[in-house]
Structure 1
Amino acid sequence: MAGMAEQSRPMRSNKNMTRELCSPSDTTPTPPCRPNQTDPLPPGIWAPTQVFFTPCTTKIDLPTTAAHAIRLARAGITGIVTNGSNGEAAHLTPAERAAVARATRTALDSAGFAHVPVLAGASDASLSGTVALAREAREAGAAAVLVLCPSAFGWAMRERGVVVGFYKGVVEGCGGSEGGLPVVVYNYPAAAGGLDLDSDLLERLAEVGVRGVKFTCGNVGKLARVASLTAGRDGGGFRCFSGVADAIVPALAVGGHGGIVGAANVFPRACVQVYKLFEEGKWEEARIAQQRLARADWAMTKRAIPGFKSVLQKYHGYGGIPRLPVLPLSEEEEGKLFAEIEEMMRVEAELEDFGRPSH
């Protein structure tokens, strides 16, 4: 399929399957809509948060997970994303995912950050499973859901009509494009078997009701095209977020709406500062801040989830280890990481919190 990574196994067109994809409501009840915010996807810097586990048992540590979200809200993060790849969603049960989203929403409300929305990951290998996770996320208080293109059978996704039918089915299963739970496409080839949705296909997904895209593909040109093609859609409410911290300024410069970036877990103030400097028209300061952030972000990206947890453990006293089969960093690798981010952690510590409670 043009614009998507080639798979080794071909597939013939199946019109009956496509019709099933487009009609999930035949078997899946539509949940009621109860969004938390007037704008469920406000522009800004969002943090796809880690999930934390108790020592030895690796059961979810909900108090720590909730406290982490509050710390980020105080730092100035626009929204919290739960149950994404950064949150080890692939290693969580549906009940655990719902518990994480609910604990995050409850904690933000209790701390005075009811205005900070929760975007919950609802990715599953099937349409019915995705809609079920979305329904549970809504009941847990999520204002929108983030959905990765299924890849367990990557060869099945080579047909553009199948991809469109899948996302159309998710939108309909979430209550439809008018008044339903907003659906954001998570374009992350590394987590989707190499599937990389191109700008033509993403525009088509906007036409069937998705409300935004997280570009973890890192392709700023693609983001620019989609932002241009969707600028007036939904009253200007269609969102194009950078999925990598080293492209916040480039994304904003071509019409993007901020970023959903893992670096915001460890450098939340620095990420928000980059966004604010650009929005205030301080171009040179924004450029310098973005370059500095890009260097530190690469140090984190190379170590992925174990690196984030090591940094949080060192600087904030929590973090712990991932669930198997993901392993924690070795002491040697931790030492290299801490040295590479030392400058950025000093910058982060010197910045003041940007977030303010709503009451």
Structure 2
Amino acid sequence: MPQAKQFPGGIHVPSLTFFKDDPAQEIDWEVQDRHFGYLIEAGVHGIIIAGSNGEAVALSTTEKTTLIQHALAASQSANAKTKPTITLGLTGQTTHQVIAEARAAASAGADFAMVLTPSYYRSAMDTPAIISFFKEVADSSPIPVMAYNYPGVTAGLDLNADILVELSRHENIVGAKLTCGGIRKVPKVTLGADEGFAVLSGQIDWMGPAMEVGAKGGITGLANLWPRACVELYNLYKSENRNEATELQLKVAASETACSKGGISGSKWFTAKLLGYPMSSSACRRPYPLFSDKKKQDEVLALAEKLRPIEEELVKRAK
């Protein structure tokens, strides 16, 4: 297999998936296309389809591939200087299923696949089994693979630095998303991994410190709401403007707390409210409950709005 293309650095947003407010809860394509256009025009470097924020486990393969096609169509029509890469999240519980979705993603036009560790049979997934899984998927995937480390949704299974370094030896495994707060892994992997292996923070509140020790950027749900502020933070660290970068990192971290406190339903709620989407589209697919507690709504909204002045200033600057 030829050497795979590298996963680009920058801000990659795990796009929210918006559903209609009816019993079937089909995807609301009007809102979805509007959101894709918003992200692309803001200049994000990549869009993740069917990540955790996009309710991956609630989506069929057909829905995932259709989302890819809509994102690609939006990138062709949006007023953006650069076109974002498209990555599909793969959360299947068998190697067979994950490979099938990787092939479907490639056929639909995705650039990369982001693969979560299977965890239904938790006790069987020791280190050799995990490594074997990722390598077998990568052997058969027609697009490069990103390893997705999220112990919170994989029964505590954690891709440690040694595993990630081993996976980096495979020519079709090109990086890792760390949704584990594992900043200690970043320099270890940076030093030990094959050249070109990209490590990205899974939250933006520690992206800057991670970039200081080798990370290539971040994959952040906050960019669904404030994409320009997230891109600005990345650009400041890339330009080594440390004082401004640190100042903005602290503000971004404070606003990002809205995502962690609100969860996916809360993130959809404040994103719809602040971007003017129909509030009916903010519901997750059931049985995920509505974000309806007024006290929690007020709390996350106040946190989320902390970055509004910065985002608005960046919009003015871009005109």
Query: Would you identify which runs of 4 or more consecutive aligned residues in structure 1 move more than 6 Å?
Result: 353-356
Aligned: 1:47 with 2:17: no
Helix, strand or coil for the counterpart of 1:329? coil
Alpha-carbon deviations, 1:291-314, whole Å to 9, x = none?
111111112211111111111221
Q: Report the residue type matching 1:298 in the other structure.
A: T
Indicate if the aligned counterparts of 1:40 and 1:144 stay in contact, CA closer than 8 A: no
- Percent of counterpart pairs with the same letter? 33
Show the counterpart of 2:90: 122
Show the counterpart of 1:17: none
Show the counterpart of 2:28: 61
Distance 1:354 1:148 in 2: 38
Show the counterpart of 1:257: 216
Show the counterpart of 1:184: 146
Aligned: 1:89 with 2:48: no
Matches within 5 A, 1:271-282: 271-282=230-241
Residue 40 of structure 1 and its aligned partner are, at CA, apart by: 5.8
Distance 1:320 1:163 in 2: 35
Give 2:39's match in structure 1, choosing from 54, 66, 72. Answer: 72
Helix, strand or coil for the counterpart of 1:220? coil
Call closer, same or farther: CA 1:355–1:82 in 2, change over 3 Å: farther
Distance 1:354 1:86 in 2: 29
Residue 63 of structure 1 and its aligned partner are, at CA, apart by: 3.1
Give 1:131's match in structure 2, choosing from 64, 82, 99. Answer: 99
Instruction: Determine which structure has more spread, i.e. the larger CA radius of gyration.
Output: 1
Indicate if the aligned counterparts of 1:43 and 1:258 stay in contact, CA closer than 8 A: yes
Alpha-carbon deviations, 1:202-239, whole Å to 9, x = none?
11111133110001111111011111212xx3xx4321
Aligned: 1:351 with 2:310: no
Matches within 5 A, 1:1-12: none
Residue 352 of structure 1 and its aligned partner are, at CA, apart by: 2.3
Aligned: 1:217 with 2:175: no
The TM-score, its normalising length taken from structure 2, stands at 0.92
Q: Report the residue type matching 1:43 in the other structure.
A: G
Distance 1:67 1:205 in 2: 37
Call closer, same or farther: CA 1:248–1:354 in 2, change over 3 Å: farther
Alpha-carbon deviations, 1:31-78, whole Å to 9, x = none?
xx9xxxx95621101100000111224101123222212211211210
Distance 1:168 1:350 in 2: 45
Distance 2:95 2:285 in 1: 26
Give 1:198's match in structure 2, choosing from 160, 163, 183. Answer: 160
Show the counterpart of 1:178: none
Call closer, same or farther: CA 1:344–1:148 in 2, change over 3 Å: same
Indicate if the aligned counterparts of 1:150 and 1:192 stay in contact, CA closer than 8 A: yes
Distance 1:66 1:354 in 2: 25
Indicate if the aligned counterparts of 1:73 and 1:355 stay in contact, CA closer than 8 A: no
Q: Report the residue type matching 2:145 in the other structure.
A: V
Q: Report the residue type matching 2:124 in the other structure.
A: A
Helix, strand or coil for the counterpart of 1:145? strand
Aligned: 1:157 with 2:121: no
Distance 1:40 1:120 in 2: 16
Distance 2:210 2:316 in 1: 24
Helix, strand or coil for the counterpart of 1:67? helix
**Per residue, is there more helix in 1 or in 2?**
2
Aligned CA RMSD, in angstroms, stands at: 2.1
Aligned: 1:294 with 2:253: yes
Aligned: 1:227 with 2:193: no
Distance 2:26 2:6 in 1: 30
Residue 354 of structure 1 and its aligned partner are, at CA, apart by: 8.5
Structure 1: gaps (5+ residues): 1-29, 176-180
Call closer, same or farther: CA 1:272–1:296 in 2, change over 3 Å: same
Distance 1:250 1:287 in 2: 9
The TM-score, its normalising length taken from structure 1, stands at 0.82
Give 1:307's match in structure 2, choosing from 258, 266, 272. Answer: 266
Indicate if the aligned counterparts of 2:87 and 2:110 stay in contact, CA closer than 8 A: yes
